[in-house]
A and B are shown apart, each in its own frame.
Chain A
Amino acid sequence: MGEILVLAEHREGELREISLQMLNKASELCRKYSHDLSVVLIGSEMENLIKILAERAKRVIVYNDERLTHFNADHYKEILAALINERKPLMIWIGHTPWGMGLAPALAVKTGYPMATDCVDIMLDSDRPRVVRQVYSDKIYSRMTLREAPAYLVTVRGGAFPSDKSEDYQAEVINATVPPLIEKSRREFIGYRDTGKGEVDICQAELLVSIGRGIGDKDNIEVIKELADLMGGVISCSRPVVDKKWLPKYHQVGTSGKTVKPKVYLALGISGAFQHVAGISGAGTVIAVNKDKKAPIFRVADYGAVADLLTIVKSLKEKLHKR
């Protein structure tokens, strides 16, 4: 029997969804293979979070300290390394989030344990994990094992597992002693900033006309805006369009942008990377137009057209003009 340690991620008093998703899957594996599920919570004043987590794991290990109020990769790494050394768990799970990405690789080097990141599935085979990752812009899947070691680290892709409670636990809450922290951290927290606010709110739109990398050229944006106006819809986009500064950030749909819920989402030239798709799970109907018939967007869309988006847009505009 081994232990799976899940690191809870939280921000400004709220648990991040990824924490619940990891606990859902880890709980399933623990039940199947008679392992123990523990969740690690690092921060300060976390009574509410402890209550939620106590129903989802056998053990909640709490590190409570004012200096831990905000995420700090250096502090987290020291705490987890000490905890791993003490408890000798079989696996350590961390969210594949911006914070997790700044922590997990450093922890892997510090502990010397092998790590697989951004996993979309995790299996166990006689205490040796096997994981599935998506590679090449999610077009290909790869199943792999980790080099044999006393413990294994994985980071888990957001949205890979449901957030539901899979079993009723009444956890033992352990208040752990915070190990000596580096007094002067190399990184100092200043604050949070919201970059998502702007002139239009894509979250309120009934129809989103959304563009991706396939738009090809900045000059084509105007044509799409005209189509969106003709349709009474709002223009939105995927990450590459914002990266190129062709549309402001508040138009962006996806993990780092907004989660939208229109009646219809018309995806034009969007390949459908998971970061984008995560933002449209609440859409009523998804219609995708893409030249690449193997684009991942067609796996989540309700309707698809394998075609050049500008040709389709031109045709749609003509038809709507005639009326």
Chain B
Amino acid sequence: MNIIVCVKNVPFIQEVDLVLDASRHDIRKDNLTYVINEWDNYAIEEAIRIKERTGSNVTAVTLGKEADEDILRRCLAMGADQAVRIEPGAMQPDASMTAVILSALLKSMPHDLILTGVQSDDLNHGVVGIMMAERLGLAHAAVVSSLKPEDGKAQISIELEGGQEELSRILLPALLTIQTGINEPRYVSVMGIRRAAKKEIRVIKAQDLGIPSADLRPDLLIEETFLPPETGGAEILQGDISSISDQIIRIIREKGVGL
């Protein structure tokens, strides 16, 4: 089976102070470190696990600059067989354009299963995978929380709200967007990434994919990016740790919980 996984390099933003850039269309990113998008990490792990069980071939693909090759090396270190980077050149693809570009490449690559993350941690549009599926004419499902390929089909579950799952069977080839928690992604050592550095990464220019220019227009035009309005919000407890703890205990008791 040929499995293709699309991955994205995103800024790491947990417990990081974000600052707006001068254009007020985005945040400043020059001071941020980059990591593989969390959902994509689960997607590549899922592909590698299928490979280990069934002997499939796994290709990791990203649309990004040379610096974004770090995550492809990470995917190779995890066990991917090949990696491809699409160089955007002067293009600034938004989510729908990303789907156009990726599917233009993937239609020429053999695939039984295409995996993406449900969404990306930065702009969380959650559209690239399913837009690709429609462009490639593939069966598809979003928010997949378990996956068992078998004989031209796959048994999947979709994570619904409130702890419910929908079980279904999907015909291959298919595109699935993978939810976090579907597996436990393996640890990738620095040594492993260094070893993977020797593997070749194929680079393809987006402009060479023969995409009609009419397809390369952004859907969304950002007017302004801003910090959330400061309405209400928590009363911040002041003092040293001991005093804060005393206040927490007092508040819990006041609200009628016996400690």
Contacts and interface: CB of A to CB of B under 8 A. Distances in A.
Interface residues of B, number: 87
Given A188-B168, A302-B235, A319-B246, A194 B163 contact: yes
A142 B133 contact: no
B121 to A, nearest CB: 7
Given A102-B142, A263-B256, A299-B232, A243 B180 contact: yes
A257 B252 CA distance: 24
Given A117-B126, A147-B217, A190 B143 contact: no
B171 to A, nearest CB: 5
B143 A98 contact: yes
A250 interface: yes
B210 interface: no
Interface string B1-37: 0000000000101111110100000010000000000
Interface stretch (A21-29, A46-54, A167-175, A287-295): A287-295
A303 B239 CA distance: 14
Nearest to B244: A305
A207 B124 CA distance: 32
B236 interface: yes
Interface stretch (B56-64, B196-204, B220-228): B220-228
A96 B142 CA distance: 11
Given A187-B141, A187-B170, A320-B249, A256 B159 contact: yes
A285 interface: yes
Contact of A186 (B122, B124, B139, B218): B139
B143 A101 contact: yes
A195 B163 contact: yes
A13 B160 CA distance: 16
B251 interface: yes
Contact of A301 (B20, B155, B234): B234
B219 interface: yes
A147 B17 CA distance: 31
A191 B249 contact: no
* Range of interface residues on A (Cβ < 8 Å): 35 or more
Interface in A284-323: 284-288, 291-292, 294-296, 298-307, 311-312, 315-316, 319-320
A257 to B, nearest CB: 6
A144 interface: yes
Nearest to B142: A102
Contacts of A190: 155, 167-169
Contact of A143 (B141, B226, B227): B226
Contacts of B236: 298, 303-306
A303 B237 contact: yes
B259 interface: yes
Nearest to A323: B259
Contacts of B208: none
Given A147-B220, A231-B252, A307 B241 contact: yes
Interface in A265-289: 266, 271, 284-288
Contacts of A133: 123
A316 B249 CA distance: 8
Given A186-B139, A266-B252, A315-B241, A106 B221 contact: no
A263 B219 contact: no
Contacts of A230: 259
A295 to B, nearest CB: 8
Contact of A187 (B96, B139, B162, B165): B139
Contacts of B118: 101
A109 B167 contact: no
A115 B165 contact: no
A144 B246 contact: no
Contacts of B18: 136, 139-140, 294
Interface string A183-216: 0001111111111110000000011000001100
Given A108-B131, A287-B248, A257 B163 contact: yes
A104 B96 CA distance: 12
A4 to B, nearest CB: 19
Among A213, A259, A296, A299: residue with most chain B CB under 10 A? A299
Please provide the 5 A-B residue pairs with the shortest distance between their CB atoms, ordered closest to farther.
Answer: A196-B163, A304-B234, A186-B139, A102-B142, A243-B181
Interface of B: 11, 13-18, 20, 27, 96, 99, 118, 121-131, 133-135, 139-143, 155, 157-171, 174, 177, 180-181, 184, 217-228, 230-237, 241-242, 244-249, 251-252, 255-259
22 contacts: A101-B118, A102-B177, A104-B130, A106-B133, A114-B220, A115-B96, A135-B122, A135-B123, A136-B121, A136-B122, A147-B217, A190-B168, A191-B167, A193-B167, A256-B161, A256-B162, A271-B15, A299-B228, A302-B235, A303-B234, A303-B237, A319-B245
Given A114-B219, A135-B123, A292-B16, 20 more contacts: A96-B126, A102-B130, A104-B130, A105-B99, A106-B140, A109-B131, A140-B225, A142-B225, A187-B170, A192-B167, A193-B165, A195-B163, A250-B163, A256-B160, A266-B252, A295-B15, A298-B233, A303-B237, A304-B234, A305-B248
